[in-house]
Amino acid sequence: MKLEDFKNIYFVGIGGIGMSAIARYFHSIGKNVFGYDRTSTKLTGELIEEGINITFEDDLDTIPNEFLNKENTLVVFTPAIPKDHQQLSYFRLNSFTIMKRSQVLGLLSDDLNGIGIAGTHGKTTVSTITAHIFNKSKMGCNAFLGGISRNYQSNLLVSKDSPWVILEADEFDRSFLQLHPKIALITSMDADHLDIYGDKSELVKSFQEYAGQIKQDGILVYKKGLHLENVEVEKYTYSLNEVADYYAKNLTLVEGFYQFDLVHPQGVFEKLKFSYPGKINVENAIGACSVAILGGVKEDEIRSALSSFEGVRRRFDYQIRKDNLVFIDDYAHHPKELKESISSVRDIYPNKKITGVFQPHLYTRTRDFAEGFAKSLSLLDEVILLDIYPARELPIEGVNSRMIMKNITVPVRICTKEELIDLLKQKDLEVLLTLGAGDIDKLVEPIKNMLIEKQ
């Protein structure tokens, strides 16, 4: 049975950023879509407003009757769902057709020219910039994104006429091995998800295997310095300012944004203006531009798209931007991401005090990278640490935020989420960053409202 043969699509974990994009797609083509998620969030609220029904109870009685017909119901789940989940266990015991999110994504993209953006960090921003460039060109595109584009207020773009589909290729649980892209871009292969891979060498092998799955006449683009030279396919490198096939020169900061010349194999695009702040995002834009050029997008289309890109929710996401107060929210949850985010803020605001609130994500990641987190956070002027967000994990004895705190070299304190607003209210803030991939995003709006009232 093919995907189009299913009338009903049930999502277990529908509130996940990747799951919600697929749910939106099936809803857009007229399928009956229903889903479960553990908690109500801004994203689940948006899905409900769009007409997708969601239950927040892991109870068999909440599954609508029509979704109990296994002949015309497809069940899609995310690996983050625990093994003892009642609804998923029921579907398994009763022989429903069940697929991981990544399997469905692979099937949806197989008949199109897939552009798979992978990497331990940066992939969401690169894929969203790439989607915006293609969408603003004559090419158009479909896109399943790992973040909410501020240009479109969605993580899904649909075009019936475009042969292109932009995909965020997720390395967690080796999900990206379900994809066979026409063009693959790899941003980074830093040690991460060691609970899955064991060590960095295994993670690198998985990325190499992903690169080996590019279609026969396809192309690999990767950040210069990554060990992918042995992949037997047409290859190109990109970099921020190191000489590569695609790189920037004459990088200039103008009123908080960057202007640069893009050097590429056919020549130079001069004085491109990128409307999204942060030096790391210029590198992300170079990666996106390289893919766009290889896909046939024209210079004027790239130029226009870069100047109109509005960013990604929770990626260097300005909440307040005034002369006397700046508040930025960022998803950074790996030591290298933190370093790049904080360094970008420092470049823009070199003479201001920068206060960061960081919520560590996962016990295993905290255990594996505590020293790296401390080193990156020490680039701030002041640090506030929240407790670890466990996500799918159970606590690990002795692993907590104090593992990070003890190696931070600037003023630091730990507080609870409940204490944070009052603590920030007492401070004379100049630049505030909220950082992390857990539920710290639920504090962003309350913090913003408090700061506006305090002004």
Q: What letter does residue 361 receive in the DSSP assignment?
A: B
- 193 pLDDT above the threshold of 80: no
- Strands 164-169 and 326-330 come out as unpaired
Alpha-carbon gap, residue 274 to 258, rounded angstroms: 6
Residue in 343, 349, 342 with CA at minimum distance from that of residue 322? 349
- 353 pLDDT above the threshold of 80: yes
Residue 419: other Cβ atoms inside 10 A = 13
Alpha-carbon gap, residue 80 to 60, rounded angstroms: 19
CB 360 within 8 A of CB 385: yes
Alpha-carbon gap, residue 312 to 331, rounded angstroms: 10
pLDDT confidence band for 196 (50 / 70 / 90): confident
CB 372 within 8 A of CB 404: no
- 392 pLDDT above the threshold of 90: no
Q: What is the DSSP string of 383-438?
A: EEEPPPB-TT----TT-STHHHHTT--S-EEE--HHHHHHHHHTS--SEEEEE-SS
- 288-324 exposure pattern, b = at least 16 Cβ within 10 A, e = fewer: bbbbbbbbebebebbbebbeebebbbbbbbebbeeee
- 426 pLDDT above the threshold of 90: yes
pLDDT confidence band for 175 (50 / 70 / 90): confident
pLDDT of residue 278: 85
| Mean pLDDT of all residues in 120-139 | 96
Say if residue 359 is exposed, middle or buried (CB neighbours under 10 Å; 0-12, 13-18, 19+). buried
360-369 pLDDT, tens per residue? 999 999 999 9
Q: What is the DSSP string of 368-396?
A: HHHHHHHHHHTTSSEEEEPPPB-TT----
Q: How many residues does the chain have?
A: 455
- 435 pLDDT above the threshold of 90: yes
Say if residue 65 is exposed, middle or buried (CB neighbours under 10 Å; 0-12, 13-18, 19+). exposed
160-170 pLDDT, tens per residue? 999 999 999 98
pLDDT of residue 265: 97
Instruction: Count H helices and E strands in the chain, helices first.
Output: 14, 21
CB 9 within 8 A of CB 76: yes
Half-sphere exposure of 314 (CA within 13 A, CB side): 22
- 350 pLDDT above the threshold of 90: yes
- 288 pLDDT above the threshold of 80: yes
pLDDT of residue 241: 86
CB 14 within 8 A of CB 36: yes
Retrieve residue 53's tokens: 């029904």
pLDDT of residue 191: 67
The proportion of the chain whose per-residue pLDDT surpasses 90, expressed as a percent, equals 83
- Strands 247-254 and 257-264 come out as antiparallel
Residue 198: other Cβ atoms inside 10 A = 10
Q: Which residue has the higher pLDDT, 35 or 80?
A: 35
CB 83 within 8 A of CB 91: no
- 263 pLDDT above the threshold of 70: yes
3-state secondary structure of 132: helix
Find all residues with CB under 8 Å of 145, minimum gap 6, and list them: 17, 21, 124, 127, 128, 131, 155, 156, 157, 166, 168
145-154 pLDDT, tens per residue? 999 999 999 9
Alpha-carbon gap, residue 273 to 261, rounded angstroms: 9
- Strands 113-118 and 183-186 come out as parallel
Alpha-carbon gap, residue 1 to 325, rounded angstroms: 56
Q: Amino acid identity of 369?
A: F
| Mean pLDDT of all residues in 130-147 | 97
pLDDT of residue 393: 85
41-76 pLDDT, tens per residue? 999 999 999 999 999 999 999 999 999 999 999 999
Q: What letter does residue 4 receive in the DSSP assignment?
A: G
293-349 pLDDT, tens per residue? 999 999 999 999 999 999 999 899 999 999 999 999 999 999 999 999 999 999 899
CB 126 within 8 A of CB 306: no
| Mean pLDDT of all residues in 222-231 | 90
**Chain-wide mean pLDDT for the chain?**
94
Q: Which residue has the higher pLDDT, 215 or 1?
A: 215
3-state secondary structure of 356: strand
81-124 pLDDT, tens per residue? 888 999 999 999 999 999 999 999 999 998 899 999 999 989 99
